[in-house]
Amino acid sequence: MAASRNRITIPGRSMARYILGRILSLILVLFVVSVVTFFLMHQVPGGPFDETKAPLPPAAKENILRKYGLDKPIHIQYLNYMKNAVLHFDFGIPYQQPTTTVTALIAKSWKVTAQVGVMTVLLAFGAGITLGIYAAYHQNSWIDNITTFIAMLGITVPSFVVAMWLILFFAVRLKWLPMGGWNASDACLLGSRFVCTDWIMPVVAYALGPLAIIARYTRSSMVDVMRQDFTRTARAKGLGNRAIMLRHILRNALIPMVTALGVIIPNLLTGSIFIEAVFRINGLGKFFVTSIFNRDYPMIMALFLLIAFLWSLTYLFTDIVYTWIDPRVRLGAEGGA
Amino acid sequence: MTARAASGLDLAPQDGERHRTLWQDAARRFLRNRLAVIGLAIVLLFLFLAVFADLVAPFPYDKVYFDRVLRFPFELPGHPLGTDEVGRDYLSRLIYGARTSMTVGIAVQTVAFLIGVPLGSLAGYVGGRTDFVISRFIDTMTAFPGLMFSILIISVWGGGITKVIFALSITSWIGIARLTRGQILSLREKEYVEAARCTGVSQNRIILRHLLPNALTPILVSISFGIPAAIFGEAGLSFLGIGINDPIPSWGKMVGVSNAYVRVYWHLALFPTIAVALAMLGFSFVGDGLRDALDPKMIE
């Protein structure tokens, strides 16, 4: 107890130490992830140059293996790989498209995934917070009930199931929206890349889960704060509803949202695989699946490292933001007890 | 609790008031919760289908009729939900799909329980260096993208139900281990444990008889939420085409395959998605109901 109080009196230094510790553990995690992935990948039965269709002459095969460094022992292969990856940002050559590099392929397809992700986050937070606030203000009204229902559905039902339902209803039955694609020219209004109808279903299906979590979090923390003494004091002072709402309730109610963020963003990273598969979007998620089917080690390795990196970065980020906005959180102390 | 204790410590049941155990109380509260009962009914239905699929299903799951490919519901007598892309009865495949989902869900959570509870208790009770090592291990595993890791493992060792269970189990125990550790850590300092220790009760007995039973309710709730998570994991892997192998039916795989036919053969997509959603909802309702029923704060 004394130690933790001591730490809080010198926030700058303890914060720096805390962040440093977290960054070190992030590096450790990435190291473990890279080792595990690398060795698992090389466990895969069947190499990329196995001759099933056209057998190569042994000399030619040896040449190819040497070119890609596959003739060396596995730990040397790992060290070479990590050296190139960390120092030169070079993740090798994808077996499925040997004319480009992994970095170039990822650079080409990440934008689509990022676009889907950003729109999803905007929709999830915008609609989730709005619904949550509304439901908290009108408890047990029909809006509250609908919010509870949406939250239940979004939290329990997988995104690809929601996606199929949207397709069945809006694309197959009503024929209002395209079945899939992203930024397809015939789906975009106002020239192109501005408003596209093929954005609607992927983003809605993708956003429903996080939206549900956010709405539920917002509602419960709003209800909590609305019962607090300081809210009653503000009302007794004669403050207007809007001022109470914005300055007193919302500000405090949104603190737990950072935790929600920490849950949602990492899940969005992997969730994209399903959405891109259902809607035939050519983003990173789709690459991940095709890479697995093609046993494309360099591509899988790079994508997996990328996701693990972003994943642990969001964990780090939300933890730091959380200790920063809420001084009640004790730094470095064991939380479980 | 406190009111009772303050009013003269008569903890023994009074005349006329029937003695009820914690579990009877919980069952009463659970059965009063309408959603929980609906959830329980759904879960029991799926469990029944899973166990008695051979008796309930009108056809074997892998029986192919080449003359009945891609028929709509009720188009042919005897196939109320139609047939799939190679002419198998869709209703039968859905029923056997319940077996796949339930097996994976329950097996994964059993593994999670068997790994998570001992590891968590050890960390929480022994403390010190053991706790440090286990906790750091748990932290590192938390930072692993779980589903991606399962995909990776499946892609290396191939699909099939045991491998899916293995791949999902690898990260499934983390939550339970952390939960158990926290529970044991807080219970360890309670007076009754101290009393037990003073009277010379052995360490194993303290953990097994004094600590774990009291830590059990949150673990139980966590498992009831873990089952739908595992079902989702299996459905997701199979949806991507790397989970359960043909001809074993899996709802997720049926959804994935249906994606190519959805423009015309809507029934292929509709029925398995409903099955997945119902199973997930059912288990979640049961989980919510259990949590509310077992939470001592909810006692009126």
> What pLDDT shows up at residue A329?
55
**What residues of chain B lie within 8 A of the CB of A174, using their CB?**
none
**What residues of chain A lie within 8 A of the CB of B284, using their CB?**
152, 155-156
Alpha carbon distance B292, B288 (integer Å)? 6
Residue B112, φ and ψ in degrees, nearest 5: -60, -40
- Measured CA to CA in angstroms, residue A321 lies from A11, A256, B45, B66, B145 at distances of 14, 11, 45, 60, 21
Question: Given A168, A307, A337, which is nearest B148 (Cβ)?
Answer: A307
CB contact under 8 A, B151 and A278: no
Question: Given B156, B240, B259, which is nearest A289 (Cβ)?
Answer: B240
Which of the residue ranges B165-169, B214-218, B270-274 would you say has the lowest mean pLDDT? B214-218
Mutate which of A38, A149, A156, A179 to disrupt the B interface (most B C-beta within 10 Å)? Answer: A156
**pLDDT per position as a tens digit, A169-216:** 998 888 888 887 777 766 676 655 667 788 888 999 999 988 988 888
The answer to whether residues B192 and B135 touch, using CB atoms and an 8 Å cutoff, is: no
**Residues A279, A280, A281, A282, Cα dihedral to 10°:** 170
* Predicted TM-score (pTM) of this structure: 0.82
**pLDDT per position as a tens digit, A33-87:** 888 888 887 776 666 666 666 677 778 777 877 777 777 777 888 888 888 877 7
> What pLDDT shows up at residue A48?
61
The answer to whether residues A312 and A26 touch, using CB atoms and an 8 Å cutoff, is: yes
Secondary structure in 3-state letters for chain B: CHHHHHCCCCCCCCCCCCCCCHHHHHHHHHHHCHHHHHHHHHHHHHHHHHHCHHHHCCCCCCCCCHHHCCCCCCCCCCCCCCECCCCCEHHHHHHHHHHHHHHHHHHHHHHHHHHHHHHHHHHHHHCHHHHHHHHHHHHHHHCCCHHHHHHHHHHHHCCCHHHHHHHHHHHHHHHHHHHHHHHHHHHCCCHHHHHHHHCCCCHHHHHHHHHHHHHHHHHHHHHHHHHHHHHHHHHHHHHCCCCCCCCCCCHHHHHHHHCCCCCCCHHHHHHHHHHHHHHHHHHHHHHHHHHHHHCHHHCC
Q: How confident is the model at residue A12 (pLDDT cuts 50, 70, 90)?
A: low
> What pLDDT shows up at residue B296?
58
**What residues of chain B lie within 8 A of the CB of A29, using their CB?**
140, 143-144
- Measured CA to CA in angstroms, residue A245 lies from A234, A254, A259, A321, A325 at distances of 10, 12, 21, 23, 19
CB contact under 8 A, B236 and A304: no
Q: How confident is the model at residue B140 (pLDDT cuts 50, 70, 90)?
A: confident
> What pLDDT shows up at residue A46?
62
Architecture of domain A105-293: Orthogonal Bundle (1.10)
Query: How many percent of chain B have pLDDT more than 70?
Result: 91
CA distance B77 to chain A (A): 25
3-state secondary structure of A180: coil
CB contact under 8 A, A167 and B151: no
Q: How many CB atoms lie within 10 A of CB A180?
A: 21
Question: Given A157, A173, A270, which is nearest B145 (Cβ)?
Answer: A270
**What residues of chain B lie within 8 A of the CB of A295, using their CB?**
155
Q: Is the pLDDT of residue B16 over 60?
A: no
Query: How many percent of chain A have pLDDT more than 90?
Result: 5
- Measured CA to CA in angstroms, residue B287 lies from A60, A143, A216, B40, B106 at distances of 60, 25, 17, 9, 14
CA distance A308 to chain B (A): 6
**pLDDT per position as a tens digit, A204-254:** 999 998 898 888 888 888 888 888 888 888 888 888 777 777 777 777 777
Q: Is the pLDDT of residue B4 over 60?
A: no
> What pLDDT shows up at residue B104?
95
3-state secondary structure of A331: coil
- Restricting to B residues 153-212, those with a Cβ less than 8 Å away from any Cβ of A are 153, 155-157, 178, 181-182, 185-186
**What residues of chain B lie within 8 A of the CB of A316, using their CB?**
none
> What pLDDT shows up at residue B42?
95
**What residues of chain B lie within 8 A of the CB of A152, using their CB?**
281, 284
pLDDT, greater one: A186 or B67: B67
Mutate which of B232, B253, B259 to disrupt the A interface (most A C-beta within 10 Å)? Answer: B259
